[in-house]
Amino acid sequence: MRLVAGSDARVVSPLFTDLDEAPCATTGVPTVAVTSVLNGTLSAPTATAWTGRTGRYRATLTAATHLTTVDQLTVTWTGTADSAARTLTQQVDVAGGVYVPTDVLAAQRTVPETDLGMESLRAWRTSFELIAERARGVAYVPRLAIEDHPASHRCSVPLEWARPRELLAVWVDGEAVDVDLYELDKGSKTVEGDFSYPVRLAYSHGYTQPPEALVAACQDYVRAKALSTTSDQARTVLSFTNLASGEVYRYGTADWDAGRWTGMESVDSLISSVDDERRWGVK
């Protein structure tokens, strides 16, 4: 799940089930705990039941407490369902933005205008963003990266992601240390310091906003996913046409080595039109 720093957002719990794996309400509402990679345990939000969605609960993460900056959060939901204790976790990537706002995607009117429909739009959008970032080796909105480097005799290590912005935290042999003991070199995309012990680095990276080509590709990807999901067409078709708009979507087999990251011809063409910033040998 990806949320935006600086804006309140509502999260939906994973599904609580009974012993037969059917949706099941908990005894009372579950408790919620939030842990930040950068700031440890945060103030716990209050869960509320999601009317009409048995086994699902919602909680609000606030900009002031939980979504202050790029981060990675673990949200833990704990409750009792069917007399059994349940602990469900989800990972939240707090980014500096999204490629296309949800209301713009919703205006395409390809999914029902319900909470569940909006959750689907967000999931498809995040899926595309992750594909584009992996395909080009760079984030197009600010994000947090966590990297582990084994003990070595090096005095600097290369970073996986292009466009590093700021070194935010460092752990040496599992213990947090002063980040000023290490130096980020944005030009060479490396961090310099003592790596004689295992080191974990947390740094922000990425562009401020995506290029127009990826905005268009994101919209195409989400629209195609929504149309194929909400239509009654067979899932084995190679192409389909939106009769209302005349748009044709062609599918192929996704093949990363061949530059077919999604298997959608128009989307993959737009992804390939932006610069490839991957490090050599990274796929």
Cβ neighbours around 171 below 10 Å, total: 16
Q: DSSP string of 206-228?
A: S-SS--HHHHHHHHHHHHHHHHH
Is residue 167 within 8 A of residue 201, CB to CB? The reply is yes
pLDDT per residue as tens digits for the range 107-151: 875 555 555 577 788 889 999 999 999 999 999 999 999 999 999
Task: Give the pLDDT score at 268.
Answer: 92
- pLDDT confidence of residue 27: 96
Least confident of 80-94, 161-175, 241-255: 241-255
Query: What does the pLDDT read at residue 281?
Result: 46
The answer to whether 223 and 189 have CB atoms below 8 angstroms apart is: no
Residues of the chain with pLDDT > 90: what percent? 71
Q: Residue 20 pLDDT > 70, yes or no?
A: yes
Which one is predicted more confidently, 235 or 67? Answer: 67
DSSP the chain: -EEETTS-EEEEPPPPB-TTS-B--BSSPPEEEEEETTTEEEPPPPPEE-TT-TT-EEEEEPTTTT-SSSEEEEEEEEEEETTEEEEEEEEEEEES--SS-HHHHHTT--S-SSHHHHHHHHHHHHHHHHHHHHHHTS-SS-EEEEEEE---S-SEEE-SSSSEEEEEEEEETTEEE-GGGSEEETTTTEEES--SS-EEEEEEES-SS--HHHHHHHHHHHHHHHHHHHS---TT-SEEE-TTT--EEEB---BGGGTBSSSBHHHHHHHHTS---PPTT--
Q: What is the pLDDT of residue 242?
A: 56
pLDDT at 235: 44
Distance CA 11, CA 73 (A): 12
Q: What pTM did the predictor assign?
A: 0.82
Mean pLDDT of 187-199: 94
Distance between CA 164 and CA 162 in Å, rounded? 6
Q: pLDDT tens, 70-117?
A: 999 999 999 999 999 999 999 999 999 999 988 888 887 555 555 557
Which pLDDT does position 231 carry in this prediction? 52
With 0-12 CB in 10 A as exposed, 13-18 as middle and 19+ as buried, what is 104?
middle
Q: What does the pLDDT read at residue 251?
A: 58
Least confident of 1-10, 16-25, 202-211, 220-229: 220-229
Letter for the amino acid at 270?
Answer: L
Q: How far apart are CA 151 and CA 157, in angstroms?
A: 11
The CA–CA distances, whole Å, from 222 to 36, 116, 237 equal 29, 15, 18
Mean pLDDT of 243-261: 68
CA distances in angstroms from 178 to 111, 126, 163, 193, listed in the order given:
48, 33, 23, 12
